[in-house]
Amino acid sequence: MRLKVKLKSKKRQASKLSATHCISYLIVMVCQYNMFSIWKQHDGPGFVHRELFGIPQRIKQINYCSSRFNTANLSHPHLGARDKSGRLGCVVNLDFLMERMEELPAIDSSNTSICTPNDASGIEGEGGNLVLKKIRKGLDQMRQENNVAEGKVPQLQATTSANNKTTPRILCMVYTVHTESNPHTSLRAITRTWAKRCDGFFAASNFTDPTIGAIDLPHFGEESYTNMWQKVRTMWSYAYDHYRDKYDYFYICGDDTYVIADNLRAFVQDSRIEELEDGFLDAISSLPQYRARALHTSSLRPRPLIWGDPMIHKRFPVIAGGGGYILNRAAIDFWGTKGMDTFYAESIDSREDIMMSSFFWDNGLSVSETVDVLGGHRFTESAEWIHGFDGYSAPTSPKYMKEFLDMVYNKGIEYASDTHVSFHLKIDIERLQQTGHTVADLIQRYHALLYRLCG
């Protein structure tokens, strides 16, 4: 009898233990299941903050700032980025930003502002549609030659070229501002489209939003268009201070620009770029009136270079910055060691493109040519503007380009290169407003059309 009682007692204990385990397991499963509904998330640089049943919880450190530095003895342009707490000295982890941007949804092909039936013209305009389709043919050819699948980002970080050189890495930078009326609307379109195709990206703003690559990067003076020089001066200095070793080429533009990043990459990989870095003087630097100045720096190896759409300012060539411009690593080194702390350090000016070009010109370095062999330009205004271009009425003053650079402009669709790099879309704003559209819509429309994302 005692043996039977003991056995029954053990069975009861085992049964209770089993029931306890089951209940514990169910509680864990329910909690895990409800994590998605009871956690209220507040993401911020440095940490992920969440609320559990209204109680703040700091549960996970994230890699927004790859490192920090003491700013006590520093001033502009070396204070670094702010995090959401307002703390300066943050070196933003650009790999983390790229990962966050990859989480953004793809563009909505059901949106009729982005995709039109039968590939017809849309908000880009009838002429703009023709220009974009011309450029798309060139893009298709380039991507086919490089075996890039449709809609995919080239996986180039670990590859090498035929001459056994590592494929260059490109940092893309955008200047923007966050306001109540425009809370990074254009930037959101940029990060859903072309920004993902760069190797690194950040947007210098007055507000931090890691999901769209926006970092709060303070600069000398007010946050205004009239002070664009100080904003861009800080961006170039931040890139030199913290990302110089990680990237080979550095591209900058505003948030009203669409960039064909694959063509940007193809441009810097062209063999002619290597020739220029080895001291070859191109069609601009070799002109008699500029040659002597260029020879003073032609022995630098690699030679510092700056590319964009050229124009004339006070009889010398500068960058027309609307479509953005590129510096090689040697150029950003030149800026970092010779101009960053002293060149117009407290000047308030909107003409950041002229200021940056003037720095290089004052030091014997000229803007490099970016026109293709057929006279097609790579950095321009919008596609619709290109189609209506008469060969004379351009922001870069073709009359002076002919006089000083012996450059004749193609008209209309032939003005655009098959290997086009960027479009400055500001000129289309008034036209877009008439139909209730924005630059953000146009950026997505360009991307969908060029990469055949509308089916």
The amino acid at 4: K
CA distance 203 to 188: 11
pLDDT of residue 108: 85
| E strand intervals along 244-376 | 249-254, 257-259, 306-307, 309-313, 316-320, 325-328
Q: Domains of the chain: which residue ranges?
A: 16-60, 92-450
Query: Tell me: the pLDDT tens digits for 195-229?
Result: 999 999 999 999 999 999 999 999 999 999 999 99
pLDDT of residue 153: 52
Only one residue has tokens 């940092």, namely 171
Mutual angle of helices 439-450 and 126-145, in 10-degree steps: 50
Half-sphere exposure of residue 265: CA atoms within 13 angstroms, side-chain side: 28
CA distance 447 to 151: 10
pLDDT of residue 21: 53
CA distance 425 to 181: 19
Q: What's the pTM value of the predicted model, to 2 decimals?
A: 0.84
Q: Which residues of the chain have pLDDT under 50?
A: 1-7, 10, 17, 22-23, 25-50, 52-53, 57-61, 150-151, 155-164
CB 273 within 8 A of CB 165: no
Query: Tell me: the pLDDT tens digits for 273-290?
Result: 999 999 999 999 999 999
CB 142 within 8 A of CB 185: no
